[in-house]
Structure 1
């Protein structure tokens, strides 16, 4: 070859390499852009803030009025609000479908599992009963861990929660259990060990039982029963939590329409009946449970097949039963009553109300008189709050004329004050979040929120003045004024909830669709390039044109398909780290075997195998911090 020919060949070869690099870079950019656009619409993120609520924060609130000397003692017993109950018993029945408790909204005909918790029917339907059944609506995703997180923080967990300890099991945000422990409430827990993982340092006493084995229907439930009843006779606790798992496991293994599920529900009915008997036997004046509130609730529902990712109404609808052991002096104003009545399968009239699980943390905080969790965006539910007799005798402001207010007026006055604190806390959180989060709220959204809050606050000043200046001839307008104030606060809180859901729980379908289109385009470019580049063609297709499928190719295709379909399962995503590590290790071992057989790329295969455990160790180390 002549010197000029050699120079020409080198120049042509260099140009080809540059072209190969440009094509590779273009494909890489297209892939990266597709993934970026798609994940911006699919992987919803919410920044976890490290701020916590404190009792002293009340002095920053416009709702706070320094107590007079004669009110100082009573005020000191509370924090943000005065406590309305002394003790709370929380019994969580995992995967409790709504129609296990109340008439079904999904089936017209009777099914074997329906209305099996008869004791709750009986208590809620008794004349003059201070018990109520709620349809509790959960926000997806509805796995147990994310639902417990939502119930205790008052926030909206997403598939991706961004925080200082990404992926760690323990909750780092302010939460209901933390506030209980910090403010002197003695919390006892038994049952599902997920609670101990989420709150490792918050329980005075805990009796956790492993929840991993879904084929075991009885270990966790038997452990709860063993410890629950002795504690009901003891005085050394303020909040008692028992989390049963049998129904959830029965649904996963056998389905809802199974003998095992019916047996579990019958067992729960008997347990609840005994719990109520023990509480009522000690609910008299001076009794241990004179001012105790019983809550029986599900963390989420489940489908007929036992699934509960959050994609169906059966999965997000569960039940909450509340019963006050102390009788209320009056009834709730009709404007705040959301009850609707239906006939059950035995033609009995059952009245139920509705509550969002988002409201649970704020409502329980108000009942116990502790600060609301800093990140809570829920509203104190009026019907659940009103069940506690203590909420009917907490006068916040006393008319200067000395006129005695009616029971409804006193309760509405107290509830308005509770909502004032509730609203101020939510506004504070939204302001801090928008200022500190990388993906905050738009200026337009924040302006709308601020306007609603300003309107509610201005109305609050008029309401407060109306109470203080109430006279015999002017008090007739007090109750309408209080109802107007409740409506103003509720409008603000509803607006915040809608805004938060739009940012944290609703997928951006336009972004996802655009990302998929770019990905399809990049795949076509990739296929076209493979056919044009001789080197890539020689790696994938033999010169003869016959397509040869190797074992390695079949395994690779199968692994990619399984990995892709796995993202359709919410529960699988929670264990994604462990599964990805296993698949990487398996692929590494196969690659090393292939390198040994082919006697090439041995060093690369060995390094691949060694990197996988180091990667897993780094993940575990990061989660432990």
Structure 2
């Protein structure tokens, strides 16, 4: 039985009115299974001859279909009269003709007739059964025709376009994988012994993680629990690393911290996925609220006001150290430092204006709530413009390529991060600490892998796919950690109005996009140069391969883009398979929209 027929079939069995918006047909198999549809069937409609059970049941089922068709026709008339788009006039006329024909036949069936004296009773029963079957077929034809019309008008899925898009995505995945394999072969020195002995297990493990996550998207239950599944896969990679290190006897503190970080992220995801109110200011949605039930509501309220400020101070110190270390141009460095200090000061001012611990005048609150966010947006936009202009028009200095890349990446990160933290609300600083700690752990573990494998001696410059996969999985975890989920009602619409009271479609749409994709796409992609370059500083000094920094950077970005492309491709396959599913517009289509926009944004930032 099709899902479209479920509501009307249950209504017919229960004897209640059909739902007005339902366009399904009462299923004959399920309707016949009910014993109540076979009761009291011996009285004929013409009161001349008794009817057997089958003919009487067909009569009752035809009556049900008559009411079913009338309800659908009433819905067609009202929808066509009120809808702006409506249905095609040609198809609508065809459906109305089918209904008129069915009603005319029904009038003939209901005419009271008695068999003649010469006619046999069996022949009359057979004739009545045939007439009822024709009537049932007529109503069924009308209902099926309109259901087909509604599917074509409402779902608007073009199989040819879907197939073309899916084919292009598959070709894109194959092309990226081929380029990555060729690049790895080029980057591998010819005199290195057994080059695949170390990279193949890593590649197989990373491919397994990506495949499991992508395959889970074929189930609607796993889509709803994608954050938990991704966190489980990330924790699995951490446990595998801990087990490998413990076996070799070289366990490090970074592995323990990374595993502990996943535990915190797990609790944060549970809290984030339980949120039902959008907007970072509507609810105090900091992950520290998990312990409110243990220590009491008063302690929780104080913690929600104090802990974000402490987290923000820690993030500020880390960012300033990053700028001092990574940005080497004097003008750009001091400008970014000043802009960062001012931005985080305005963020703290904005939080303080909403705090219940401090008493403020109405004017101070208005300044903190309206002007402070706008100053943060303006400083971030100005820093971004200056960083881009410096990249395009600044003369090439004596700095090495990796230092130029890290300078530009640090400037871009510091330009985007204050705006993203402002939109995320009080949880933003805590999420930023998780992101920074995760990046530090991945870099340190990559350097440990490089040292243990003696890659600095052999000169290999092949990127570790497990590290890139972990960074991608962590980015997905951050998406759900901040209270987002892949449905349209999961958008945090309140974040778009931080600092503004009036609605403007471009401005609020841009802020909503930054809030949705900032911590899961913008920051992780802009951080890839640090994950790539800082892992191979030693290898780049002793490598026998030319331009090792460029090769490593290309490999890491290709791996990250390939992971995103594989996930999006499987999502397209899922939407193609489930295009007639009842939850296609509530679950599968929004997931496809989020993944498609995420893929476009990832490719744009990588390029």
Higher RCO structure, 1 or 2 (CA under 8 Å, sep 6+): 1
Rg larger in structure = 2
TM-score by length of 2: 0.31
Structure with the bigger percentage of helix: 2
TM-score by length of 1: 0.30
Structure with the bigger percentage of strand: 1
